[in-house]
């Protein structure tokens, strides 16, 4: 039940004990199966380009960028993202190989809100435990810094992204019609979010799924994420 003020009106939770987090400082996020390194054009462009080029062009249908004609075009994107005040791009590295791009964006320290997006996985990373761990690293780091809300947004027609958001525990909050446009097309944007109150249980579920004991000798999962009770 919401607290009330002196007029008997319901009001929001008191935030006297909350301090807005600092802006995101690009640092390496180390996982068991994946490492997220801040993306740098000189260091990462060539291997990232070759990894992404192995995928189908359908990878780019719902992305604001791509497909890339050459590595120079991808390098320009990395430079552009690094030049934005509210974006931090990372590359995903598995077994020493660069195999994906992901980002923090719309970083709002005063509001305590941050978004995860720009996710472009090479075929070698798609639908793997490392891909799930990469998302876990981003969410967990944001909440550890003091952000109150982590958002996930996508084209409302992008069913794989919607399913991924729900698998990770994001709550669907609605669709904003004609929210933006890209590649000459309208985009209705589906909004999802996880808030700090829910992350302890959702994070524990993700870590349970990621535990090596959840995979057999061939690397097949024993239990799906959806089969794990939140908080188990």
d(CA 173, CA 39): 30
DSSP H or E stretch at residue 190: strand 185-195
Phi-psi region of 90 (alpha: psi -120 to 50; beta: other; left: phi over 0): beta
In tens, the pLDDT along 129-144 reads: 999 999 999 999 999 9
d(CA 226, CA 56): 28
Domains of the chain (ranges; CATH) run 29-227 (3.40.630.30)
Assign 3-class secondary structure to 56-99: CHHHHCCCCCCCCCCHHHHHHHHHHHHCCCCCEEEEEEECCEEE
User: In this predicted structure, what is the pLDDT of residue 226?
Assistant: 87
In tens, the pLDDT along 181-197 reads: 999 999 999 999 999 99
In tens, the pLDDT along 207-228 reads: 999 999 999 998 899 999 988 8
Rg value, the chain, Cα: 19
Q: With beta carbons less than 8 A apart as the criterion, state whether 118 and 103 touch.
A: yes
């Amino acid at each position: 039940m919401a607290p009330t003020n002196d007029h008997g009106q319901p009001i929001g939770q008191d935030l006297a004990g909350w301090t807005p987090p600092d802006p995101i400082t690009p640092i390496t996020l180390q996982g068991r199966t994946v490492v997220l390194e801040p993306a740098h054009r000189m260091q990462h462009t060539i291997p990232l380009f070759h990894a992404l080029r192995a995928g189908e062009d359908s990878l780019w249908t719902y992305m604001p960028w791509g497909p890339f004609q050459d590595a120079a075009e991808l390098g320009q994107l990395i430079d552009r993202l690094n030049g934005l005040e509210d974006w931090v791009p990372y590359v995903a590295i598995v077994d020493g190989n660069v195999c994906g791009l992901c980002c923090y964006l719309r970083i709002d320290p005063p509001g305590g809100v941050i978004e995860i997006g720009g996710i472009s996985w090479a075929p070698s990373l798609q639908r793997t435990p490392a891909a799930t761990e990469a998302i876990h690293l981003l969410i967990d780091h944001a909440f550890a810094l003091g952000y109150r809300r982590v958002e996930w947004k996508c084209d409302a027609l992008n069913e794989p992204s919607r399913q991924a958001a729900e698998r990770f525990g994001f709550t669907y909050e609605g669709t904003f019609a004609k929210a933006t446009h890209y590649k000459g097309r309208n985009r209705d944007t589906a909004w999802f979010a996880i808030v700090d109150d829910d992350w302890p249980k959702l994070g524990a579920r993700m870590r349970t799924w990621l535990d090596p004991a959840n995979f057999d000798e061939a690397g097949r999962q024993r239990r799906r994420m959806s089969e794990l009770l939140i908080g188990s």
